């Protein structure tokens, strides 16, 4: 059997648990991870390049904030439909298409820059397109990762996925500043186009073609309504969705205030501001690396809730800090919390959801992520009325209070994470009064390699 191929069935049930870095022995996972690292580095680089380009065109911080929020607005508008796509379309094709769209957008922007035709409305449209491509990619990629590595290794795989984002947050902004300084915006977009092309090439090298789930046979509206109802009725998934709403509205919206706090409150220049903000990436990298070695756990919700609470607590003390060194340490704590939150957010849903609802549940998660731009608007309004530190502090305290309620009212912390298959069989057992049959290694999907990990 060709072990470079993953199962063609929708849900490989069980694979052997392996050391974290052994996942890179899986040829397809290696290419998938590399493509994600390239894609995320470009995304965070493009965010900085775009902000500086808009500032150059408009000399307006308001336009910078508005254009930046458009990158995340598709989460709110299109997130749930991206989950439908993940359940109804070949996921590998979705990933190839989304990365190809990124290349096309970079080519368009590069041509507009070279011909000196670039206007603000071009950036508005292209930013929305890039955001749409990213939102479409995420549910398909995360579902593909689960199908590729299996439930036993999904925590480590998602920890390594978090590391790709961390790499992007550190390397992307540094490359943006360097290239703009050396080669202006034309050179920056030429570099972005080249790396996006490399991301397309690496994802094309993935050989696995995991089939879509049975949801694809259902009418669109029926699938939409059923998936939304399922996500809200599952108490574990519901808890993840509520915490995601809290974190994106109260927590992550504060990140846009970090440079303002550094300049106006801590009174440091651009160089020290950049170093201060990098503390978040350093903390996230340390946290994600720790998640890799923690690996398997039955209580994923505890790490998820702890990471979320740690983020909000670090944010509160960052707002209260009068000293630069303490602020640096607090942003590292924020980064540690981000790692716990980011790793377990999708992991819990991937484990808890049934195979045919997995992509849809991730789409509902995307809808919750979409409140981020609304949080940015409220954060900016409070900061304008009072000051950034007060705005951050109010959001952090409110978020911590809501976190306590969620922890008390959901099973995230108190129960082990149940698999979607276990939940489904338990439900059927309760209804019929019959015993639950023991799971077997095969999934009936056409030859899953259960004896060991696929090798390069």
pLDDT at 219: 60
Record the tokens describing residue 45, joined without a space: 């680089």
Per-residue model confidence (pLDDT) at position 179: 84
Distance CA 225, CA 232 (A): 11
pLDDT at 98: 92
Contact of 149 with 221, CB cutoff 8 Å: no
Give the residue ranges of the chain where pLDDT is below 70: 1-21, 60-62, 65, 209-224, 226-227, 269-274, 292-297, 418-456
- pLDDT computed for residue 309 by the predictor: 93
Q: How far is residue 359 from each of residues 5, 88, 110, 137, 167, measured CA to CA in Å?
A: 21, 9, 34, 11, 26
- How many other CB atoms are found less than 10 A from the CB of residue 224? 17
Spatial distance between the Cα atoms of 164 and 41, rounded to a whole number of angstroms: 8
**pLDDT for the residue numbered 106:** 95
3-state secondary structure of 448: coil
Contacts of residue 127, defined as CB under 8 A and 6 or more positions apart, other chains included, come to 50, 67, 68, 70, 71
67-72: long-range contacts (C-beta < 8 A, 24 or more apart)? 67/120, 67/123, 67/124, 67/127, 68/127, 68/256, 69/373, 69/376, 69/377, 70/124, 70/127, 70/128, 70/131, 70/373, 71/47, 71/127, 71/130, 71/131, 71/134, 72/131, 72/369, 72/370, 72/372, 72/373
Nearest to 132 by CA among 99, 106, 164: 99
pTM summary value: 0.68
Supply the DSSP string of 74-140, one letter for each residue.
HHHHHHHHHHHHHHHS-HHHHHHHHHHHHHHHHHHHHHHHHTT---HHHHHHHHHHHHHHHHHHHHH
**Residue 350 neighbours by CB distance under 10 Å:** 26
Cα–Cα distance, 149 to 269 (Å, whole number): 45
414-450 burial, b for 16+ CB within 10 Å, e for fewer? eeebbbbbbbbeeeeeeeeeeeeeeeeeebebeebbb
Q: What pLDDT shows up at residue 257?
A: 75
Q: Report helix, strand or coil for 400.
A: helix
- Which domains does the chain possess? 22-213 (1.20.1250.20), 230-427 (1.20.1250.20)
Q: Which two tokens stand for residue 343?
A: 């790793």
Q: How far apart are CA 65 and CA 50, in angstroms?
A: 11
pLDDT the model gives residue 353: 79
- Check residue 205 and report its DSSP letter: T
Question: Which parts of 2-72 fold into alpha helices (H)?
Answer: 27-58, 61-70
**pLDDT value of position 419:** 63
Question: What confidence tens digit (pLDDT) does each residue in 160-177 have?
Answer: 887 888 788 778 777 877
- Note the pLDDT of residue 10: 44
Which tokens hold the place of 58? 């408009």
Tokens found for residue 154: 């999904």
> How confident is the model over 98-151, as pLDDT tens digits?
999 999 999 999 999 999 899 999 999 999 999 889 888 888 888 788 778 877
CA-CA distances (angstroms) from residue 332 to 288, 311, 339, 349, 435?
12, 9, 11, 27, 49
d(CA 36, CA 200): 10
């Amino acid at each position: 059997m060709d072990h470079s191929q993953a199962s063609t069935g929708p849900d490989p049930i069980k694979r052997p648990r392996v050391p974290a870095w052994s996942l890179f022995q899986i040829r397809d996972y290696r290419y998938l991870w590399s493509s994600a690292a390239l894609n995320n580095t470009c995304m965070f680089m493009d965010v900085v390049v775009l902000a500086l380009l808009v500032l150059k065109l408009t000399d307006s911080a308001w336009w910078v904030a508005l254009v930046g929020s458009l990158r995340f607005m598709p989460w709110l508008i299109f997130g749930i439909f991206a989950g439908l796509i993940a359940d109804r379309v070949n996921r590998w094709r979705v990933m190839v298409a989304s990365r190809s769209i990124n290349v096309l957008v970079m080519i368009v922007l590069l041509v507009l820059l070279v011909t000196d035709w670039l206007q603000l409305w071009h950036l508005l449209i292209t930013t929305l397109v890039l955001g749409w491509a990213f939102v479409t990619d995420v549910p398909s990629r995360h579902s593909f990762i689960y199908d590729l590595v299996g439930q036993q290794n999904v925590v480590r795989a998602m920890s390594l996925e978090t590391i790709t984002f961390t790499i992007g947050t550190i390397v992307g902004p540094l490359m943006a500043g360097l290239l703009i300084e050396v080669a202006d915006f034309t050179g920056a977009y030429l570099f972005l186009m080249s790396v996006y092309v490399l991301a397309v090439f690496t994802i094309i090298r993935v050989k696995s073609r995991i089939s879509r789930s049975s949801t694809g046979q259902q009418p669109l509206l029926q699938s939409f309504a059923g998936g939304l109802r399922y996500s809200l009725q599952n108490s574990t998934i519901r808890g993840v969705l509520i915490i995601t709403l809290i974190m994106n509205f109260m927590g992550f919206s504060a990140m846009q205030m970090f440079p303002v706090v550094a300049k106006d409150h801590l009174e440091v220049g651009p160089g020290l501001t950049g170093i201060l903000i990098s503390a978040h990436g350093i903390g996230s990298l340390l946290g994600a690396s720790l998640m890799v070695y923690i690996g398997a756990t039955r209580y994923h919700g505890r790490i998820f809730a702890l990471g979320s609470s740690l983020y909000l607590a670090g944010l509160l003390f960052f707002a209260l800090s009068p000293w630069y060194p303490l602020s640096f340490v607090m942003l590292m704590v924020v980064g540690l919390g981000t790692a716990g939150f980011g790793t377990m957010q999708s992991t819990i849903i991937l484990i808890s959801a049934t195979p045919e609802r997995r992509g849809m549940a991730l789409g509902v998660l995307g809808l919750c992520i979409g409140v981020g731009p609304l949080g940015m608007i409220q954060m900016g309004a409070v900061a304008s009325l009072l000051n950034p530190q007060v705005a951050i502090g109010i959001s952090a305290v409110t978020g911590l209070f809501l976190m306590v309620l969620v922890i008390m009212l959901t099973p995230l912390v108190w129960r082990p994470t149940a698999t979607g298959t276990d939940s489904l069989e338990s439900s059927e057992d309760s209804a019929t009064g019959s015993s639950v049959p023991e799971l077997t290694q095969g999934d009936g999907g056409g030859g899953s390699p259960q004896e060991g990990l696929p090798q390069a």
